Structure 1
Amino acid sequence: MDKGRQQLLRQLPDVDHLLQRPVLLAWQDRKSRQAVRDAVRAILDERRQSILAGKWDQPFSGDEFDQAVVQRLQMAERGHLRRVINATGTILHTNLGRAVFSSALARHIGELACHYSNLEYDLVSGKRGSRYDHVRELLCALTGAEDAMVVNNNAAAVLLTLSSLVSGREVVISRGELVEIGGSFRIPDVIEQSGGRICEVGTTNKTHLADYQRAIGENTAALMKVHTSNYRIIGFTESVPAPNLASLAHDHGLPCINDVGSGLFVDLAEWGLPHEPTVREVLEAGCDIVTFSADKLLGGPQAGIIVGKAAYLEAMKHHPLLRALRVDKMTLAGLEGTLRAYRDGTAVCQIPTLRCLALTKNELRERAERLLQLLHIDDLPACISLRQIDDCVGGGACPDAVLPGWSLAIEADGMTPEALERRLRRADLPVVARVQYHAVILSLRTLGEEELPDVACAVRKALGG
């Protein structure tokens, strides 16, 4: 080790000496001596490692060290899971929590979280009730299903379905539908975990009805279809439509399972997007069990929904796995509120996901102009302009759909786009943007009207204005 590094290491005071500094004594009164001691030790360790790696060459400064410790304490005080502002233009951003709630629905959930509720209590009979009854009738009315139930995500919905109906036997599925989605969730892995065996038919790009027909045998428990919602195979392709597959399954006395992924209740064509089958359409096509997510295009909380024939769902209700997969009162409150908006015909107004999908280019341009005015750009060291942009749905839905929109493009003086993006991301209220066209792009589709002042404040601070 060279003498310069040795000298820097020797300059680092011990922990007890640092704890006597006035700023850190004040924080010990505010939090605890142990919390401040832990922060001091962590910063000292980071500083030693940086010196040894040749990444720190500044002499020790008490004020600078105080600032580093205080910043660490403030971050710990703030909590790890935090609110962020989504300026990426991706509506269902998996990393940012996918679908968000309206303020009214959030208040309703908060009220139930702060008080007791009739989660499993029948107020009419005064006896124990079922947590699933709070949403069952709504789901049946909206989809036309005989029965419905909710678990904690769509992977759980598929796992429970297969564990109840296929365990120890075979499920026939197209090779082109053995998909993997985010988090390395793979359909083949879920089938195997359920105790079922996979019988692959067809090829990656083409599967015919005759392929399923030839695969059916005495060990076949079900035919399964999986909607490839997070990618598209184009060109020389063919798959079996749901009505044909369901008809073949019924001819052999088998259930037809369909995992539709996003779980649509409305026709996306209303907003110029490619048509995706709704849950009702899939059930009307003859599928016996349909599984889907609640926090994607449905616009609700994270949950997996199972709808279909009552006889098949009855087996799931008595499966021991259900206890491990059940949802809590806050999830049910969020889902019930979301479903009621569909029932009442107010979904586009009340569900932020649908509101974002429905925004027009003119509305987005007007919003971009309002943000531009809030920024007061005349005194900012940057070139900020309106720019047309393509947004996307995200969340493993509509992978080839383009949503034309508007954004603000920021090119900072003397700062790379990456550096500005990092500053925005590390703000007190983080703004998550994208870097594109050698600029930081703030897409207006995912920025709510009430967030525009916060975004303007974060941008001005990041630019030093």
Structure 2
Amino acid sequence: MSVANSAVQFHLPSVDRVLRWPAIEALIAAHGRTVVLMAIRAELEACRVHAAMAGGISNAVMAEAVAQRIATFVSPSLRKVYNLTGTVLHTNLGRAPLPPEAIAAMVEAASGASNLEYDLGTGERGDRDDHIEAWLCRLTGAEAATVVNNNAAAVLILLNTLALRKEVIVSRGELVEIGGAFRLPNIMTRAGCKLHEVGTTNRTHLRDYADAVSNRTGLLMKAHTSNYRIEGFTASVDETLIADVAGAKGLPFAVDLGSGTLVDMTRFGLPHEPTPAETLEKGAHLVTFSGDKLLGGPQAGIIVGRKELIARIKKNPMKRAMRCDKMTIAALEAVLRLYADPDRLIQRLPTLRLLARPVDEIEALARRVRPAVAGWASAQGNVDVVPLDSQIGSGSLPTNLLPSFGLRITPASVKRRSGRILEEIASTFRSLPTPVIGRISNGAFLLDLRCLEAEQDFIALFAGAPAI
């Protein structure tokens, strides 16, 4: 809060004078002189023009304003929120929630020294990939594996290593754009490659790949269209056939799965998504995929495949710039270990648990939490339980919706169902001590409860907040 428009009594005090006020001395004792000094200077600057016009401000109001600025300064910017948008893997809200095992592993790694790049057997320098490579090979059938800080980086370093100053053959229908307007053609340009499009947007044939190969070709590539789908009069080429062309020409063949999952999703009642193991079995030499999407781990870009190709990638100077830190490696290793017990995976891995959550369970939850939300938000309008559709998110299976339930807050008057009123309702929910993030649709504010597991904490949030 700025005191610029407050009632005034005195001229603006000097910084030294403010520092001697008892209330300010108490703030210094609590937070230190530096942050208090920053707050005083910021508040005096904000008040200077208005105070000059009005004649001054009171000491009490100034001290309170400084205290509020300090509270803003010291509050963490990265905060826990309730993701009730209906998008499980929400990029803007942090994607995959980590299991307790991964969180514990991160804390352990962060709390002191570790053998991050140290071989305890030989006493010599080690490779940080060693902590996760064996598990990735076991789970995918790959000969070798390496990890970088996200999947865009995985694609970038793969292209730069294997096709620098050469052409990369890709179907025109697979030139994907991922979140934040990052496009595969742009990544190729930055990697020092030249894109060679083949086929058309809706149909690409095997002869298109074969005819495009020349002495300028460095790589054949297939990008899984995980964030969109082309339907109708379409044709695409199976990985097995592209691998045959690549093998006959002595060229590497890479597949970018984008999301990537290590298990057959159909066993959990979810749509099938290609796995790295399936893709390697079809003949791909390298496969890239994300760690923080369907895999359910931390942000990472994973590359699995032929040993000699992985070795070349690991020698690329960019690998050091893209490497994962110790917390990411610790978390990823912990998540990969969970996949060794697939029968209990859905109970232990939050991402799969939320995606496969039974709809009747979500409906029952909605009916239990409705009274708390309705009591708090009664002034905003009617709160009722409604069926909804969730989506997986982060480019995973975009056309497959998951039946869900949630709460619908509808403004009391039809005349009030404007975008502005709905935005005000959404803003009010975001202003709670733990922000609640929903979505606006069809003249209402919706809270999809698929991702709500801390039921009692959620109810207590509304019980402790002033009614609106």
**TM-score if structure 2 supplies the norm length?**
0.88
Q: What are the within-5 Å matches in structure 2 for residues 360-399 of structure 1?
A: 360-372=358-370, 377=375, 381=379, 383-399=382-398
> Equivalents in 1 of 2:89, 2:330: separation in Å?
20
Alignment partner, residue 454 of structure 1: 457
Contact 2:373 2:383 in 1 (8 A): no
Question: Among residues 315, 321, 326, which one is paired with 1:324 in the alignment?
Answer: 321
CA drift of 1:402 comes to 0.5
CA drift of 1:18 comes to 5.3
Alignment partner, residue 246 of structure 1: 243
> Equivalents in 2 of 1:175, 1:47: separation in Å?
58
Aligned CA RMSD, in angstroms, stands at 3.1
SS where residue 90 of structure 1 aligns? coil
> Equivalents in 1 of 2:43, 2:383: separation in Å?
38
Question: Among residues 216, 220, 224, which one is paired with 1:219 in the alignment?
Answer: 216
SS where residue 320 of structure 2 aligns? helix
Question: Among residues 430, 443, 447, which one is paired with 1:442 in the alignment?
Answer: 447
CA drift of 1:149 comes to 0.9
Change (3 A) 1:44 1:241: farther
CA drift of 1:303 comes to 0.6
Contact 1:377 1:384 in 2 (8 A): no
Farther off after superposition, 6-15 or 245-254: 6-15
SS where residue 308 of structure 2 aligns? helix
CA drift of 1:120 comes to 1.9
SS where residue 397 of structure 2 aligns? coil
> Equivalents in 2 of 1:335, 1:464: separation in Å?
42
> Equivalents in 1 of 2:93, 2:278: separation in Å?
30
Change (3 A) 1:51 1:21: closer
Change (3 A) 1:11 1:93: farther
Alignment partner, residue 405 of structure 2: 406
Q: What are the within-5 Å matches in structure 2 for residues 265-280 of structure 1?
A: 265-280=262-277
Alignment partner, residue 29 of structure 1: 29
Q: Can you list the C-alpha shifts for 1:397-447, whole angstroms capped at 9, x where unaligned?
A: 111111111112234769943223212212322222223343332221111
CA drift of 1:307 comes to 0.5
Contact 1:412 1:463 in 2 (8 A): no
Q: Can you list the C-alpha shifts for 1:167-211, whole angstroms capped at 9, x where unaligned?
A: 121111112222221122221122122222211112222222211
Q: What are the within-5 Å matches in structure 2 for residues 155-304 of structure 1?
A: 155-304=152-301
Contact 2:147 2:301 in 1 (8 A): yes
Alignment partner, residue 358 of structure 1: 356
CA drift of 1:108 comes to 2.3
Change (3 A) 1:44 1:270: farther
| Residue 464 of structure 2 corresponds to residue 464 of structure 1 | no
Contact 2:10 2:58 in 1 (8 A): no
In the alignment, residue 108 of structure 1 is paired with which amino acid? A
Contact 1:303 1:331 in 2 (8 A): yes
| Residue 338 of structure 2 corresponds to residue 341 of structure 1 | yes
Contact 2:12 2:51 in 1 (8 A): no
Q: Can you list the C-alpha shifts for 1:306-329, whole angstroms capped at 9, x where unaligned?
A: 001112111112222211111121
In the alignment, residue 236 of structure 2 is paired with which amino acid? S
Farther off after superposition, 193-202 or 123-132: 123-132
> Equivalents in 1 of 2:317, 2:111: separation in Å?
30
Contact 1:289 1:308 in 2 (8 A): yes
> Equivalents in 2 of 1:12, 1:229: separation in Å?
63
In the alignment, residue 42 of structure 1 is paired with which amino acid? A
In the alignment, residue 35 of structure 1 is paired with which amino acid? V
Farther off after superposition, 131-140 or 272-281: 272-281
Unaligned runs of 5+ in 2: none
Alignment partner, residue 122 of structure 1: 119
SS where residue 356 of structure 1 aligns? helix
| Residue 431 of structure 2 corresponds to residue 426 of structure 1 | yes
In the alignment, residue 30 of structure 1 is paired with which amino acid? A
Contact 1:8 1:60 in 2 (8 A): yes
SS where residue 409 of structure 1 aligns? strand
CA drift of 1:458 comes to 3.3
> Equivalents in 2 of 1:212, 1:9: separation in Å?
77
Contact 2:374 2:383 in 1 (8 A): no
The total of aligned residue pairs comes to 456
SS where residue 73 of structure 1 aligns? helix
> Equivalents in 2 of 1:50, 1:218: separation in Å?
72
> Equivalents in 2 of 1:241, 1:11: separation in Å?
79
In the alignment, residue 350 of structure 1 is paired with which amino acid? R
> Equivalents in 2 of 1:458, 1:49: separation in Å?
40
In the alignment, residue 370 of structure 1 is paired with which amino acid? R
> Equivalents in 2 of 1:323, 1:66: separation in Å?
49
CA drift of 1:366 comes to 2.0
In the alignment, residue 168 of structure 1 is paired with which amino acid? R
Alignment partner, residue 131 of structure 1: 128
Change (3 A) 1:12 1:261: farther
Q: Can you list the C-alpha shifts for 1:57-108, whole angstroms capped at 9, x where unaligned?
A: 9x96766655443333112212212222212121111011111112232122
Contact 1:374 1:453 in 2 (8 A): no
Q: Can you list the C-alpha shifts for 1:294-352, whole angstroms capped at 9, x where unaligned?
A: 00111111111000111211111222221111112111111111111111223211111
> Equivalents in 2 of 1:207, 1:15: separation in Å?
73
